[in-house]
Structure 1
Amino acid sequence: MAKPLPECSPRRFLFVVVPEFSMMPYTAAIEALRAANRESGADLYHWQTATIDGDVVAASNRTRIAPDCALAEAQAADVIVVCSGLNAERHGSPALFAALRRAARMGAMLGSVCTGTVLLARAGLLEGYRCTIHWEDVASFAENFPALHVTTRLFEIDRDRFTCSGGTAPLDLMLHFIERDYGHDLALEVAELMLHHGMRVSEEPQRLSLRERTGLAHAKLLDALARMETAIETPEPIEAIAAAAGLSPRQFERLFHDHLATTPSRHYLHLRLKRARHLLQHTSAPIMQVALSTGFASAAHFAKCYREAFGHPPRVERRSDKVEGVKA
């Protein structure tokens, strides 16, 4: 049964957006609050959007939005949500970090969606808290903030902090808040209005299963692929992976050829180089450290493989003007 609607003031959210923020997580969160107000027929939630300087800001999809105000002029909020996306490490500022720390001292609940976790961490606001981030950024985030407890969950709520992965996951996060505030029935009504089939819990994985991602049904091949994905820093011999999956080397080669049109060694190398590229783009770790973190013992061998895969040496990824792909 839905909880009785309160007679207290609406819960106030402040969304702080930085350049190149991801549009989907931002709108998913706000739309859930709007839908809760509509379905309840009450003014349960208020929200504002702020930027550091109050100027129009472009999302990662290049859509430009006009904020309600500059961060310093925002109304007092119960919950502050930092929204980021691409190149989060470039969009922090002393003014932003100071404002977030001040809000924390005043008792606001602080959170983030997508790579906003990076900005909370840089502000020193996640020490001693569990946190999560978009799955694509987990490795680089852990590299940059080794002392933090980072998970791969859909979202994390730890006392007065919350972090959320990205994509549509903020909708699940907000449904959790709505359920906690006003009951399961209202949360279900919001989920149905948003055509969201089921409210995912925080423990659910961010990524699709390997079976869903690859379209494969061969259990032994899937086991081998999973083993490769988890052994990036210390690669296992191909023969050992095949044996662990219960396959002979010849069977292993044939399965990769028939189902993936490649060889086991080439697929494994691609996984390691893809991880290396992300670390180069999103951490300040020395190139040799990135090489070691992805299973290359020699800088020369790493550079050779990298150039063959991407057409340029690893150092090019560190150029500040390099264009990166769009994250959901």
Structure 2
Amino acid sequence: MLSSSSQPSILKVQKPLIADDDGVFTLSFLLLPEYAMVSLLSAIEPLRIANRLAGKTLFRWQCFSEDGEPVLASNGLALQDSLSIHASEKPRNLFVNASFHPEKHASETSIKWLRELHRLGFMIGALDTGCYLLAKAKLLEGYPITLHWEAKPCFQERYPELEISDELFEIQGKRVTCAGGTAATDMMLYLIDAYFEPELAILVCEQLIKSAARNQTDHQRASQAEKLKLHHPKMVKALALMAANIETPLATSDLADHLAISVRHLERLFLQYLACSPSAYYVQMRVEHARYLLSDSGLSIADIALACGFSSTAHFSRRYRALYGTTASQYRSGIQ
């Protein structure tokens, strides 16, 4: 495979793409308003480079929109006219590309179109928050999926029955989902490696000034301990336990039990490394998690409070104001 940091050999190489009649793989992208252009370009550029280095056309790409008109991206720019989803020829490999307010831009027309592609047995995927449209079309049941880490909390609340990972991309059968951003490049390098000579993927990687492609199983974000540059094994595990138990917070005594240390020892560690108690840091972590939900979900403040482990809205509101100096409702009003 691509490098020592690419897929481990024990993992089955996934080949989800469907070739055109001439053997070329055409990748199509359905652009929803406010989509992230970085995801689109990060997906297309490795394909362009692969064609150039191979000296022949291995890949084609095209963009779709619901009406065939240019779509305004989140950066305020728009590309040339897209193909309409009402065109007679159906894309065999489609990625839904979305970013901000994906549910707002998910139309019944697009949902029906996706279901038609599914009935035809075509590959259907998503970049960034494009999986919202796939979820509304009920095309994700039974598949592991991923999406941008910032959107994950509210997606989990909206679709608790779906299996969501923190990985850069997920491929199973004819479903391919990607966290978006530059993770789209890592996914395309994986696909180039899977379908063609591994050396080609390495050359494409070098052209992109990347030392190596990230592993599919690499997490999207640095852990809390990594961001804080903490290396003490007990602190690393404590922060990981906190992050994994936001909705139902663990008591300090339970954390200590998991770490096989006393409560007093745990409190000394937090004071030494973070200058606060375990409970104070835990509250801060949960309030920060709530802030993501406020910005990216339609959940009520009361529901967000519960999702972040607060027993009441009043308790959550006090903690939020103490940390950010404003109320949760004021913050939400300011970003809408």
Q: What code does the residue aligned with 2:59 have?
A: Y
- Whole-angstrom CA distance in 2 between matches of 1:317 and 1:103: 40
Equivalent residue for 1:170?
184
- 1:19–1:84: 8 Å Cα contact kept in structure 2? yes
Q: Secondary structure at the match of 2:285?
A: helix
Whether the aligned pair in 2 keeps the contact of 1:82 and 1:113 (CA below 8 Å) is: yes
Residue identity opposite 1:236 in structure 2: L
Residue 102 of structure 1: how far off its partner (Å): 1.8
Among 233, 239, 245, which residue is 2:247 paired with? 233
Amino acid in the other structure paired with 1:154: L
1:11 to 2:14 alignment: no
SS at match of 2:231: coil
Residues 281/210 of structure 1: CA separation in 2 closer, same or farther (3 Å cut): closer
**Which residue identity does 1:110 align to in structure 2?**
I
In 2: Cα distance, 1:257 partner to 1:55 partner: 57
* Residue identity opposite 1:133 in structure 2: L
Local SS of the residue matching 2:124: strand
1:206 matches 2:212: no
| Alignment partner of 2:335 out of 316, 323, 327 | 323
1:154 to 160, 165, 168: 168
Q: For 1:193-272, list aligned pairs within 5 A.
A: 193-242=207-256, 244-245=258-259, 252-253=266-267, 255-272=269-286
Consecutive unaligned residues in structure 1, runs of 5 or more: none
Q: Which moved more, 1:209-218 or 1:80-89?
A: 209-218
1:152 and 1:175 map into 2 onto residues whose CA distance is 19
Identify the match of residue 186 of structure 1 among 200, 212, 222.
200
- Do the aligned residues in 1 keep the contact of 2:168 with 2:218 (CA within 8 Å)? yes
Q: 2:90 aligns with which of 76, 89, 109?
A: 76
TM-score, normalised on structure 1?
0.86
- Greater displacement, 70-79 / 176-185: 70-79
> What is the match of residue 11 of structure 2?
none
Mapped pair 1:279 → 2:293: yes
Gapped regions of structure 2 (runs ≥ 5):
2-19
User: Residues 69 and 82 of structure 2 are in contact (CA less than 8 Å); yes or no, is this contact kept in structure 1?
Assistant: no
CA deviation after TM superposition for structure 1 residue 109, in Å: 0.7
TM-score normalised by length of structure 2? 0.84
Kindly state the Cα deviation for residue 80 of structure 1 after the two structures are TM-superposed.
0.6
Distance between the aligned counterparts of 1:31 and 1:179, measured in 2?
15
Q: What residue in structure 1 maps to residue 48 of structure 2?
A: 34
Report the CA distance between 1:119 and its aligned residue: 1.4
C-alpha separation in 2, matches of 1:176 and 1:166? 15
- Relative to structure 1, the CA distance from residue 262 to residue 75 in structure 2 (aligned partners, 3 Å threshold; closer, same or farther) is farther
Quick check: 1:36–1:187 contact (8 Å CA) kept in 2?
yes
For residues 251 and 52 of structure 1, the distance between their equivalents in structure 2, rounded to whole angstroms, comes to 59
> Which position in structure 2 is the counterpart of 1:97?
111
Give 2:122's aligned residue: 108
Identical aligned residues as a percent: 37
Question: Measured at CA, do residues 149 and 245 of structure 1 come closer, stay the same or move farther in structure 2, by a change above 3 Å?
Answer: closer
Matching residue's letter, 2:171: I
Query: Structure 1, residues 262-288: CA drift from partner, whole Å, max 9, x if none?
Result: 443332111111222323443444433
Indicate the larger mover: 237-246 or 26-35.
Answer: 237-246
> Shift in Å at residue 112 of structure 1?
0.7
Is the 2:70–2:82 Cα contact (8 Å) retained in structure 1? no
Counterpart amino acid of 2:335?
V
Distance in 1 (alpha carbons) for counterparts of 2:221 and 2:291: 20
For the aligned residue pairs, the C-alpha RMSD in angstroms reads: 2.7
Alpha-carbon distance change, 7 to 286 in structure 1, aligned in 2, over 3 angstroms: closer
Q: How far 1:257 sits from its partner (Å)?
A: 4.7
77-86 vs 67-76, which moves further: 67-76
Question: How big is the shift at 1:175?
Answer: 1.6
Assess if the C-alpha contact under 8 Å between 1:50 and 1:74 holds in 2: no
Answer yes or no: is the 8 Å Cα contact 2:295–2:335 preserved in 1.
no
Structure 1 residues 45-81: Cα deviation after superposition (integer angstroms, max 9, x where no partner): 1111222223333322333333433333485322111
Deviations 1:226-267 (A, max 9, x none): 222112112122344356446665655554455435443332
C-alpha distance in structure 1 between counterparts of 2:241 and 2:199, whole Å: 41
* Distance of 2:242 and 2:173 partners within structure 1: 36
Alignment check: 8 A CA contact 2:225 2:235 kept = no
